[in-house]
Amino acid sequence: MTSGVGAWCHWLCSPRVTKPSVTFKEAGERHEPEVEPEEQSEEELTLKQKLLQRLKRMNTGDLLRQIRRNISSFSVLPDSEGDLSWDGDDMATEPEISFAVQELQAYFSDWQDAQTDNFWQRKSRKVVISVVVCAQEDGTLHALRGMNTEVSLPSGSLCAERAGIARAASEFFHAKSIKAIAVLDPSGEIAPLWPCEVCQSWLAKIREQNPRISVVAFPCKDHEFKTILVQRNGKDVRPPTCVSQKSSQFSKHVLEHT
């Protein structure tokens, strides 16, 4: 039987994707700023003068793009760098993520009150819920709900994440409008619960339309929804408030040594 592709794959695959290997090299290669070639005449200049010259040559758009790239590379760090959990302040910096958490909490509340049909989880006997966040061009956010659906056929089952993505497509949202996806095991047995390898493959395909999709998981079994973990491209994302602190330290270091 191949029906294990569905919700069962959360049980089987999640431990393998919970702690992806992350290296500075990968992040560095992807976010390496495009630096203009050195000119011979600059060799005698101090570092500060070189930086000022480069800033003068850049237009505002180039400068902003480089700053964004550097911030992105700072935000992808290995587990060994400390606590990766996001709190309310971190979530507030990313509207799509805070919206995903708020909508998943509402979905969880509805699930608790609902008269659910166990037929839909007849293989795993386990419910997983997810919310896919899509953004319209004017910035309006929409949440599309998904629940794992298992009818017990060799063709496989549908995970909550893919059910949410299919719901977004069915509501005519474009793939590039998908900004975030949050996943929860309502029973609290698996926390955090990350998308299985099949769902990760779907997200990899969708990233061809939008390379920045945040995946949100919940590390607390008691569903307090105040702490989350975030991954992008399968890599842990450091909480933004920590990045700010680190960036401040980095800026201070640069200023003191230039």
Closer Cβ to Zn ion, 129 or 196, answer by number? 196
Question: Which residue's Cβ has the minimum distance to Zn ion?
Answer: 159
CA angle 246/244/94 to nearest 5° reads 140
Closer Cβ to Zn ion, 98 or 231, answer by number? 231
How many residues are given for the chain? 258
CB of 193 to Zn ion, least distance (A): 10
Nearest to 56 by CA among 77, 70, 69, 42: 42
Contact 194, 212 (CB under 8 A): no
Q: Report the C-alpha gap between 243 and 81 in whole angstroms.
A: 11
Residue type, 83: D
CB of 159 to Zn ion, least distance (A): 3
CB of 220 to Zn ion, least distance (A): 21
Q: Which residue has the tokens 């237009």?
A: 59
Contact 124, 158 (CB under 8 A): no
CB of 16 to Zn ion, least distance (A): 13
How crowded is residue 218: how many other Cβ atoms within 10 Å of its Cβ? 27
Q: Is the peptide bond before 37 cis (omega within 30 degrees of 0)?
A: no
CB of 132 to Zn ion, least distance (A): 13
Contact 132, 144 (CB under 8 A): yes
Nearest to 210 by CA among 147, 120, 152, 133: 133
Closer Cβ to Zn ion, 76 or 196, answer by number? 196
Closer Cβ to Zn ion, 27 or 199, answer by number? 199
CB of 124 to Zn ion, least distance (A): 11
Closer Cβ to Zn ion, 2 or 251, answer by number? 2
Contact 195, 15 (CB under 8 A): no
Closer Cβ to Zn ion, 12 or 45, answer by number? 12
**What does the binding site for Zn ion look like in residue numbers (CB under 5 A)?**
159, 196, 199
Distances, alpha carbon 89 to alpha carbons 135, 182, 241, in Å: 22, 18, 7
Closer Cβ to Zn ion, 90 or 185, answer by number? 185
